[in-house]
Amino acid sequence: MAKEFVKDITAMDDDFAQWYTDVVTKADLIDYSSVRGSMIIRPYGYALWENIKNELDQRIKDTGHENVYMPLFIPESLLQKEKDHIEGFAPEVAWVTHGGSEELAERLCVRPTSEVLFCEHYKNIIHSYRDLPKLYNQWANVVRWEKTTRPFLRTLEFLWQEGHTCHATDEEAHEETKQMLEVYADVCENVLAIPVVKGKKTDKEKFAGAKFTYTIESLMHDGKALQSGTSHHLGDGFAKAFGIQYLDKDGQQQYVQQTSWGFTTRIIGAMIMVHGDDRGLVIPPKAAPTQVMIIPIAQHKEGVLDFAYDLKEKLSAFARVGIDASDKKPGWKFNEHEMKGVPLRLEVGPKDIENNQVVLARRDTGEKIIVSMIELESKLTEVLDDIQRNLFERAKELREQKTYKATSFDELNEIFTNKTGFVKAMWCGDQSCEDKVKEETGATSRCIPFEQEAISNECVCCGREANQLVYWAKAY
C-alpha cells in the first residue's frame, strides 16, 4: 500500500493483533470511547452491522419468530432464581447500586443476557398448550465486564440478537435449537462467506443453565478459532425455577421446554480476520455497505462527473453504489477504498467514455476487467457473485490447510506447539482429559461436530476407548 496515500497497516505476518487493530480503526469501523473496553461503532461499521442484521432478521421472521424488547435492568433476586445460570455469569455482571444519590434497596444487574426476563414474562402469558409455541427474539445491547477486550471480538458492551422460545415438548425445543443454528450457519456462509463447523459443545463449554449447546465455529486467518453463533436447548430448568407451566390437551400441568440463541457484533471481527489482507478489509459483496465504488478519472474534464453520477443512478438498481468525487488523487482513492474493503471499483475517465466502456477492479484478486457499457449491468452482477463465491472458497481452502489430525497426546501437543489451526482428535468424554488438553496446550474443545469420523478408537489424551471426534483449537 502506498504510504503517501494511506497510512501504513501492520503486515499480518508481522503482528496479527496489531494488523487487526490498524484495520478496524483506519478503515473507519470504530473509535475508542472513554470507557475501557467500550467502542464507538462508526457509520461505516454500523452500516456493515445493519446489513448483517437485516439478513438475519428476515430469516428469523421467516421461521415464525416475532421481535420484542425486554428491559435493560434485572433485579438481583430475579437473576438468582436459576443457580447454574447466575454462577456462569457472576464474574462478568455489572451492577447498579444507586439511583441518583439514593442507594437502591436491591441491586440491579445490567443485562448480560435476558433469559430470566423472558422467563418472568412467559410465566405471565403462558397458561395453555394453545399459547405454545412462543417464538420471541430481541435486538439489543448487553454488558459483560470482560478483563481483556478487543474491538468487536470482546467488549464490555456489544450488540446482538437473542432468541428465546417456549415449546410443549422436548422434541420441539430440540428442533428449534437445530433450526436456528442452521440459520446462523446460512448467514455466515452465504452472506459473510465464512465457512463454519457445526457441532455440539462439551458439557464444560456449554451455556450456563443449558441442557446442551449447539455452536458454529470458524477459523481465522491466523489459525485461531472463533465461536460465531450458539443455540441452546434449555430444557425445563428455567421453567421449573420460574414456574412456567401450561395445561396440556389432557388437562395436566406441564413445564415448558425452552431454547435461547444469540448472534453478535463479534461476527464482524470474524469477517475481518477471515477475509482481510495486508491492504486492509475485504468485505463480501452481500454484506458490504458499498458494493461498487465509482472513481471518476480526470474528473475536472468536462462531462466526466456528470457521466459518473448518471452511471451511479443507473447502477443503483442492481447494487449498492457509491461515488468518490472528492479532490483526492485517483491513486489515493484506489488505496482508501481498497483498505475499506469495497468489493468492486469502477473507474471511468474521458477515454472510457469515448470508448463506451468502464474498468472494473476486483478487491479480492486485484484483477482489472474492461467492460463495455452495453454489458455493464449483467457483468456487474456476475462479478459480484463471483467475488462472493471466491471469498468463501478461499476461506474454506485456508481452513482445510490449517486443519490437522492427532491420534496421540504427543502429536496433539506438537501440533499446537508449532502450528495454529483446528486439530481433529478423539475424546473419551471425561472432563479431566479436556482439562489436561487446555492446561498443557492452551487449546480448548471447540465442538463435537455433527459430521463425525473415526480417526482412531482411542482418546487422544488418556488412550481409553473413545467414539467422539472433537475439534480442538486455540481461540479468541
Residue 282 covered by a domain: no
> Distance of alpha carbon 335 from its chain centroid, rounded?
27
Query: Measured at the alpha carbon of residue 236, what is the angle toward residues 235 and 241, in degrees to the nearest 5?
Result: 135
For residue 85, the model assigns a pLDDT of 73
Q: Is residue 24 part of a domain?
A: yes
Q: What per-residue confidence (pLDDT) applies to 88?
A: 76
Q: Would you say residue 6 has pLDDT above 70?
A: no
Q: What is the pLDDT of residues 51-78, one digit of tens each?
A: 999 999 999 999 999 999 999 999 999 9
Residue 285 has pLDDT above 70, yes or no: yes
% of the chain with per-residue pLDDT over 90:
95
In this structure, are 455 and 426 located in the same domain? yes
Look at residues 248, 275, 302 and tell me which one is the last residue of a structural domain. Answer: 275
Read off the pLDDT of each residue in 219-248 and give the average, rounded to a whole number: 97
Between 4 and 240, residue with greater pLDDT: 240
**Whole-number average pLDDT of the chain:** 96
Is the pLDDT confidence value at 420 over 50?
yes
- Is the pLDDT at 3 greater than 50? The verdict is no
- The predicted pLDDT at position 91 comes to 87
Express each pLDDT in 449-473 by its tens digit: 999 999 999 999 999 999 999 999 9
Please give the torsion angle defined by the CA atoms of residues 406, 408, 410 and 411, in that order, rounded to the nearest 10 degrees.
-20
- Answer yes or no: is pLDDT of 83 > 80: no
Residue 253 sits in the same domain as residue 299: no
73: CATH: 3.30.930.10
Do 238 and 305 fall within a single domain?
no
- Reported as a single tens digit per residue, the pLDDT across 152-204 is 999 999 999 999 999 999 999 999 999 999 999 999 999 999 999 999 999 99
* C-alpha cell at position 154: 470482546
**In DSSP terms, which residues pair with 255 in a beta bridge?**
245
For residues 288-303, average pLDDT: 96
> Which range of residues forms the domain containing residue 119?
16-275
Pair (97, 130) in one structural domain: yes
Is 421 in contact with 219 (CB distance < 8 Å)?
yes
The CATH number of whichever domain residue 332 belongs to comes to 3.40.50.800
Burial of 212: CB neighbours in 10 Å, binned 0-12, 13-18, 19+:
middle
Question: Does residue 416 register a pLDDT over 60?
Answer: yes
394, 431: one domain: no
Q: Is 50 exposed, middle or buried (0-12, 13-18, 19+ CB in 10 A)?
A: middle
Same domain, yes or no, for 72 and 186?
yes
pLDDT grade, residue 414 (50/70/90)? very high
Instruction: Please state the rounded mean pLDDT for residues 392-412.
Output: 98
pLDDT, residue 87, reads 80
pLDDT value of residue 1? 42
Mind listing the pLDDT tens digit for each residue in 89-128?
A: 788 999 999 999 999 999 999 999 999 999 999 999 999 9
Residues 164 and 64 in one domain: yes
What pLDDT is attached to residue 7?
A: 59
User: Rounded to two decimals, what is the model's pTM?
Assistant: 0.95
Residue 360 in domain = yes
Does a structural domain hold residue 4? no
- pLDDT, mean of residues 277-302: 97
Q: Are 271 and 284 in contact (CB under 8 A)?
A: yes
Q: Which of 275, 304, 337 is the last residue of a domain?
A: 275
Domain shared by 391 and 412, yes or no: no
Whether 144 has a pLDDT exceeding 90, the answer reads yes
pLDDT at 392 over 50: yes
Cα angle vertex 469, ends 464, 475, to 5°?
Answer: 110
Residue 381: inside a domain, yes or no?
A: yes
Q: What confidence category does residue 4 fall into, taking pLDDT thresholds of 50, 70 and 90?
A: very low
Give pLDDT, residue 321.
98
Residue 138 and residue 113: Cα distance in Å, rounded?
11
Asked if residue 215 and residue 73 are part of one domain, the reply reads: yes
Examine the pLDDT at 5 and tell me if it is beyond 80.
no
- Over the range 170-209, which residues count as b (16 or more CB within 10 Å of their CB) and which as e? eebbbebbbebbebbbebbbebbbbbbbbbbbbeebbbbb
Q: Can you give the chain as a three-state secondary structure string? A: CCCCCCCCCCCCCCCHHHHHHHHHHHCCCEEECCCCCCEEECHHHHHHHHHHHHHHHHHHHHCCCEECCCCCEEEHHHHCCCHHHHHHHHHHCEEEEEECCEEEEEEEEECCCCHHHHHHHHHHHCCEHHHCCEEEEEEEEEECCCCCCECCCECCEEEEEEEEEEECCHHHHHHHHHHHHHHHHHHHHHCCCCCCEEEECCCCCCCCCCCEEEEEEEECCCCCEEEEEEEEEEECHHHHHHCCEEECCCCCEEECEEEEEEEECHHHHHHHHHHCECCECCCCCCCCCCCEEEEECCCCCCCHHHHHHHHHHHHCCCCCEEECCCCCCHHHHHHHHHHCCCCEEEEECHHHHHCCEEEEEECCCCCEEEEEHHHHHHHHHHHHHHHHHHHHHHHHHHHHHCEEECCCHHHHHHHHHHCCCEEEEEECCCHHHHHHHHHHHCCEEEEEECCCCCCCCECCCCCCECCEEEEEECEC
